[in-house]
Amino acid sequence: MALTKVKYCDGCQKDVEAVIVERPATYTFKGETFELIERVLQCPYCREDLYDELLDSETMRILTKLYEERVGLSLEEIKSIRGQYGLSMDLFSRILGWSKATIARYETGKYIPDNSHMQVLKKLKEKPETIDEYFKLNMHKFNEKEKRKILVKLNSYDQNIVEKNLVKLMNINYKMHEKTIDSGFRSFNFYKLVNMILFFAEEGIQKTKLMKLLFYSDFLNYKRNLISITGVPYVRLPYGPVPKDHDLLLSAIEKNEYIDIDYEYMNEYTFINIKAKRNFDDTLFNKEEIEILRQVKEFFKNYGSVAISEYSHNEDGWKYTQDRDIISYDFAETLSIGD
Ligand SMILES: [Zn+2]
């Protein structure tokens, strides 16, 4: 049965029961010719095409997809390649040994790169570090000042890769606990955890205390709703519960510029202070979760690191879990706060 839609036909000057028809069509898009099957709305009386926004954008989507398949990279992807290094058009084009005008034409979509250039761009997209090879090849064309500038850009790009990979690593690390009692049946959410930390570390906080506040927030939410807030698994350490691989986690968060970590040495003690560098984003949390964060902060506001450590030693989750083992969220049932 044919699909129909009531539409006004200008030719017949009346509303008609327009029919959707499928037909082969040829389009020229960005200088390339494509054959495709399109769907259009047609008047059953005069057979004229009737404009339909949905069908029109459907055709456009098919065309864009065919174009990307043929040329290899979409315009958006081409534009993002230079951007990922933070290089100017001038420096980027000279590193590749191309003219500045060439890059400009590609980035504006005026020209589709020829095959050899497309292969270079694809390589930079898939393995961004290959830019080093092109730089070495054309290094002699730059003066000392330019060389230094390029190296700074490329090094900070390497740093970005480290940061991104750390976040990826934490996601993999916690993923194995996904949908189990270890994570409180929540998929790990890096940004939620980061923002929970920003909430507690707004005015600076000792690391030991912060770790406990995260534990209490996640466990309290589990106690009430049978799901954690962040999906973080916590392990039992001698001084209390902490997120699994917390040092790696904090380092990932620090390297991504969300927090500052300061070390203060006093006698044989090291005090680690954590301070938020960005604002807390409350849109990631529901009302109840926000309420829990406030409650936990308020409850422990007069507790220092030592006091909150000792307090946490009375929790069943700490008492009945082996050292370095994951604390089951089942223990949230007897959590000492939030009744
Ligand atoms: Zn008509």
- Rounded to whole angstroms, the Cα distance separating 317 from 326 reads 9
- Rounded to whole angstroms, the Cα distance separating 66 from 70 reads 6
pLDDT of residue 269: 79
pLDDT class of 1 with cuts at 50, 70, 90: very low
Cα 44 to ligand 1 centroid, rounded to whole Å: 7
Closest CA to 184 of 241, 222, 143: 222
Residue 51 included in any domain? yes
Side-chain half-sphere CA neighbours of 268 within 13 A: 0
pLDDT of residue 2: 59
197 and 92 in one domain? no
For the packed helices 75-85 and 100-108, what is the interaxial angle rounded to 10 degrees?
Answer: 130
- Rounded to whole angstroms, the Cα distance separating 229 from 243 reads 13
Q: Which two tokens stand for residue 191?
A: 């940004």
Residue 339 included in any domain? no
314 and 225 in one domain? yes
What CATH number should be reported for the domain holding residue 34? 3.10.20
Total domains in the fold of the chain? 3
Cα 171 to ligand 1 centroid, rounded to whole Å: 57
Cα 23 to ligand 1 centroid, rounded to whole Å: 18
Residue 123 included in any domain? yes
Cα 55 to ligand 1 centroid, rounded to whole Å: 18
307 and 205 in one domain? yes
* Collapsed DSSP state (helix, strand, coil) of residue 233: coil
Task: Tell me which of 162, 197, 213 is where a domain ends.
Answer: 162
Cα 328 to ligand 1 centroid, rounded to whole Å: 69
**For the segment 262-291, what is each residue's pLDDT rounded down to a tens digit?**
988 887 778 899 999 999 999 999 999 999
4-18, 113-127, 313-327 — which is least confidently predicted?
113-127
What is the average per-residue pLDDT within 106-131?
86
- Helices assigned H by DSSP within the chain: 53-71, 75-85, 89-96, 100-108, 115-126, 131-138, 144-175, 190-200, 207-225, 246-255, 287-299, 305-312, 316-319
Q: Which two tokens stand for residue 276?
A: 């938020």
Q: Which two tokens stand for residue 96?
A: 């590749």
129 and 205 in one domain? no
Task: Tell me which of 130, 162, 194 is where a domain ends.
Answer: 162
137 and 11 in one domain? no
329 and 184 in one domain? yes
95 and 67 in one domain? no
What is the average per-residue pLDDT within 226-235?
97
Cα 2 to ligand 1 centroid, rounded to whole Å: 17
Instruction: Find the length of the chain.
Output: 339
Residue 122 included in any domain? yes
Q: Percent of the chain having pLDDT more than 90?
A: 72
Cα 49 to ligand 1 centroid, rounded to whole Å: 8
What CATH number should be reported for the domain holding residue 85? 1.10.260
Cβ atoms within 10 A of the Cβ of 312, count? 24
268 and 209 in one domain? yes
Residue 57 included in any domain? yes
- Rounded to whole angstroms, the Cα distance separating 123 from 267 reads 53
Concatenated DSSP letters of 178-226: TTSGGGTT----HHHHHHHHHHHTTT-EEHHHHHHHHHHHHHHHHHHHS
Cα 18 to ligand 1 centroid, rounded to whole Å: 9
Residue 306 included in any domain? yes
67-76, 90-99, 296-305 — which is least confidently predicted?
67-76
247 and 269 in one domain? yes
Identify the DSSP state of 112: P
194 and 226 in one domain? yes
**Cβ(41)–Cβ(52) below 8 Å:** yes
CA distances from 118 to 112, 134, 196 (A): 8, 15, 43
Closest CA to 329 of 216, 238, 237: 216
Average pLDDT, the chain: 92
241 and 188 in one domain? yes
Cα 308 to ligand 1 centroid, rounded to whole Å: 78
Residue 300 included in any domain? yes
Task: Tell me which of 132, 162, 192 is where a domain ends.
Answer: 162
For residue 117, pLDDT over 60 is answered with yes
pLDDT class of 314 with cuts at 50, 70, 90: very high
Range of the domain at 299: 179-334
**Cβ(191)–Cβ(284) below 8 Å:** yes
Residue 194 included in any domain? yes
134 and 61 in one domain? no
What is the average per-residue pLDDT within 150-154?
90
Cα 25 to ligand 1 centroid, rounded to whole Å: 21
